[in-house]
């Protein structure tokens, strides 16, 4: 990591590297957007389809090439396209990741909304945000499972929070062998609603619900008592992404369920383009999601595990994973009475979000 020379441009709203190819210095997203809009020709960020001749003329001018080279380029591009299309038609054995990517592209590239009101306005900023999963198992020390989201500057941090799916929000704590029907009522997300994002010295707390607590207070007071630079607080639901001051490429924090911590890295901030998905309703747009292998029921090997039991005389292993159907068939009579001794805990598979 080499430190970059300080910029000579006094404009702090234009991002500059703090560490080359790693992260920028902090800048204000809304001001960055204004810098772009004041410098670009409106046609450069317009969503209006450009006609081919106009594009060719502009391209020739910018690249300083004459009409002969332009004609050659056009021929070569056409041939390349033909060959690419042919190759694509041969590639039949696509894996499901490719299929998913193709489908996403088909559904979103240049997509226009049905209602004009749902159209993303020209000159809007688009952020690419990676949200990393907490390290849960040793396996994840080697891969970095994450989801990638596209969001516009007018989305709030609360909308970012709601777009992040993490199994710990669905975790159910407790032993329910006597009352299996009660388990679904104990979903963590409904009980522990507090959460925060941390960007550049500011804790953005989710305060949308009366039971939300400012869980950043402990850290803020600790920092104060230890003479750290002061941190401040704001509300997630009142903060739009365009209002944030951030470093692109820098790891920030999302914390929920008390101690489930995710790194959040903004990897790109740019103006929207006419080939982007222009339908507001499809945002936050998930463009990548890590897929995990789901754990199947030990009895039927078909359905995803929903329960695990311990001290269970009916189980082939301890602990043992069951789908809901097999769990109930094996452990309760027709009236729902518990058979034998065992302890049962609800289980949420990490693959449940695939
Ligand atoms: Zn989490
Ligand atoms: Zn089963």
Residue 208 sits in the same domain as residue 323: no
Residue 135 has a pLDDT of 64
Residue 295 has a pLDDT of 84
Q: Tens digit of pLDDT for each residue in 1-16?
A: 344 444 455 678 889 9
Residue 173 sits in the same domain as residue 270: yes
* Range from 3-7, 97-101, 309-313 carrying the lowest mean pLDDT: 3-7
Summarize the confidence of residues 242-268 as an average pLDDT.
93
Asked whether the predicted pLDDT for residue 240 surpasses 90, the reply is yes
Asked whether the predicted pLDDT for residue 239 surpasses 80, the reply is yes
**Highest averaged pLDDT of the listed ranges 4-8, 145-149, 169-173, 297-301:** 297-301
Q: How confident is the model at residue 259 (pLDDT cuts 50, 70, 90)?
A: confident
Q: How many CA atoms lie within 13 A of 181 on its CB side?
A: 5
Q: Tens digit of pLDDT for each residue in 270-310?
A: 999 998 999 999 999 988 887 767 788 999 998 888 888 99
- Give residue 295 CA to ligand 2 midpoint distance, Å: 11
- Give residue 294 CA to ligand 2 midpoint distance, Å: 13
Nearest CA to 153 out of 131, 129, 121, 124 is that of 124
Cβ within 8 Å of residue 309, ≥6 positions away: 177, 315, 318, 319, 320, 322, 327, 331, 342, 343, 344, 345
- Give residue 102 CA to ligand 2 midpoint distance, Å: 33
* Range from 85-99, 115-129, 240-254 carrying the lowest mean pLDDT: 85-99
In a domain, 108, yes or no: no
Residue 132 sits in the same domain as residue 207: yes
CATH of the domain at 142: 3.10.290
3-class SS of residue 311: coil
- Give residue 195 CA to ligand 2 midpoint distance, Å: 35
In a domain, 102, yes or no: no
Domain count, the chain: 2
- Give residue 140 CA to ligand 1 midpoint distance, Å: 14
Residue 140 sits in the same domain as residue 185: yes
Cα–Cα dist 150/126, whole Å: 7
- Give residue 296 CA to ligand 2 midpoint distance, Å: 8
In a domain, 77, yes or no: no
- Give residue 300 CA to ligand 2 midpoint distance, Å: 4
Query: Which ligand sits closest to the CA of 136?
Result: 1
In a domain, 42, yes or no: no
In this structure, the dihedral spanned by the alpha carbons of residues 152, 21, 100 and 77, taken in order and rounded to 10 degrees, is 100
Residue 268 sits in the same domain as residue 336: no
Residue 281 sits in the same domain as residue 324: no
- Give residue 304 CA to ligand 2 midpoint distance, Å: 8
Query: Which ligand sits closest to the CA of 325?
Result: 2
- Cα-only R_g, the chain: 26
Cα–Cα dist 154/148, whole Å: 18
Q: 190: buried, middle or exposed (CB in 10 Å: 19+, 13-18, 0-12)?
A: exposed
Residue 171 sits in the same domain as residue 283: yes
Residue 343 has a pLDDT of 93
Residue 278 sits in the same domain as residue 155: yes
Q: How confident is the model at residue 87 (pLDDT cuts 50, 70, 90)?
A: confident
Expressed as residue numbers, the domain containing 178 is: 115-287
Which of the two residues, 94 and 349, has the higher pLDDT score? 349
In a domain, 106, yes or no: no
Determine which helix (DSSP H) or strand (DSSP E) holds 320, and give its type and residue range.
strand 320-322
Average pLDDT, the chain: 86
Cα–Cα dist 167/94, whole Å: 29
Query: Which ligand sits closest to the CA of 259?
Result: 1
Q: Tens digit of pLDDT for each residue in 21-74?
A: 999 999 999 999 999 999 999 988 999 887 888 888 888 999 999 889 999 999
Residue 227 sits in the same domain as residue 175: yes
In a domain, 47, yes or no: no
- Give residue 166 CA to ligand 1 midpoint distance, Å: 5
Q: According to the 3-state scheme, what is the secondary structure of 224-293? A: HHCCCCCCEEEEHHHCEHHHCEECCCCEEEEEECCCEEEEEEEEEEEECCCCCCCEHHHCCEEEEECCCC
Query: Which ligand sits closest to the CA of 296?
Result: 2
- Give residue 240 CA to ligand 1 midpoint distance, Å: 22
Residue 345 sits in the same domain as residue 244: no
Residue 249 sits in the same domain as residue 201: yes
Q: Quick check: bond before 319 cis, omega within 30?
A: yes
Residue 11 has a pLDDT of 77
Domain endpoint, select from 287, 319, 345: 287
Helices (H), 119-193: 157-163, 188-191
Residue owning tokens 């594009």: 55
Residue 246 sits in the same domain as residue 315: no
Residue 117 has a pLDDT of 92
- Give residue 330 CA to ligand 2 midpoint distance, Å: 10
In a domain, 2, yes or no: no
Residue 268 has a pLDDT of 96
- 151 with 284: CB under 8 angstroms? yes
Query: Which ligand sits closest to the CA of 306?
Result: 2
Query: Which ligand sits closest to the CA of 147?
Result: 1
Q: pTM of the full predicted structure?
A: 0.78
Cα–Cα dist 133/140, whole Å: 9
In a domain, 187, yes or no: yes
Q: Which CA distances in Å does 312 have to 265, 317, 345?
A: 44, 8, 12
């Amino acid at each position: 990591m080499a430190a970059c020379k300080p910029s000579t441009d006094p404009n702090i709203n234009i991002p500059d590297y703090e560490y080359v190819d790693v992260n920028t210095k902090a800048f204000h997203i809304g001001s960055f957007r204004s810098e772009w809009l004041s410098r670009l020709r409106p046609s450069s960020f317009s969503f209006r389809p450009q006609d081919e001749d106009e594009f060719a003329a502009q391209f020739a001018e910018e690249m300083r090439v004459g009409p002969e080279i332009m004609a050659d380029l056009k021929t070569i591009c056409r041939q390349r396209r033909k060959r690419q299309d042919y190759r694509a038609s041969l590639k039949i054995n696509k894996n499901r990741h490719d299929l998913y990517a193709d489908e996403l592209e088909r559904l979103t590239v240049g997509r226009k909304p049905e209602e004009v009101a749902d159209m993303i306005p020209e000159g809007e900023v688009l952020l690419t945000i990676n949200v990393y999963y907490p390290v849960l198992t040793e396996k994840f020390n080697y891969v970095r499972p994450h989801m990638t989201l596209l969001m516009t500057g007018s989305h709030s941090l609360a909308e970012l929070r709601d777009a992040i799916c993490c199994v710990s929000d669905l975790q159910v704590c407790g032993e329910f062998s006597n009352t299996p029907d009660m388990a679904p009522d104990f979903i963590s997300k409904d009980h522990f609603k507090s959460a925060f994002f941390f960007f550049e010295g500011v804790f953005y707390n989710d305060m949308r619900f009366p039971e939300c607590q400012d869980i950043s207070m402990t850290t803020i007071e600790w920092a104060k008592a230890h003479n750290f630079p002061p941190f401040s607080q704001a509300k997630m639901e009142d903060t739009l992404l365009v209002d944030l001051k951030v470093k692109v490429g820098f790891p920030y924090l999302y914390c929920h369920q008390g101690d489930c911590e995710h790194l959040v890295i903004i990897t790109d901030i740019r103006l929207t383009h006419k080939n982007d998905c222009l339908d507001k309703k499809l945002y936050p747009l998930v463009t990548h999601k890590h897929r995990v292998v789901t754990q199947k029921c030990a009895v039927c090997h078909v359905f995803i595990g929903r329960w695990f039991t311990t001290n269970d005389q009916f189980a082939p292993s301890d602990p043992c994973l069951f789908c809901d159907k097999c769990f109930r068939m094996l452990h309760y009579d027709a009236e729902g009475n518990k058979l034998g001794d065992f302890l049962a805990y609800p289980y949420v598979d990490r693959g449940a979000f695939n």
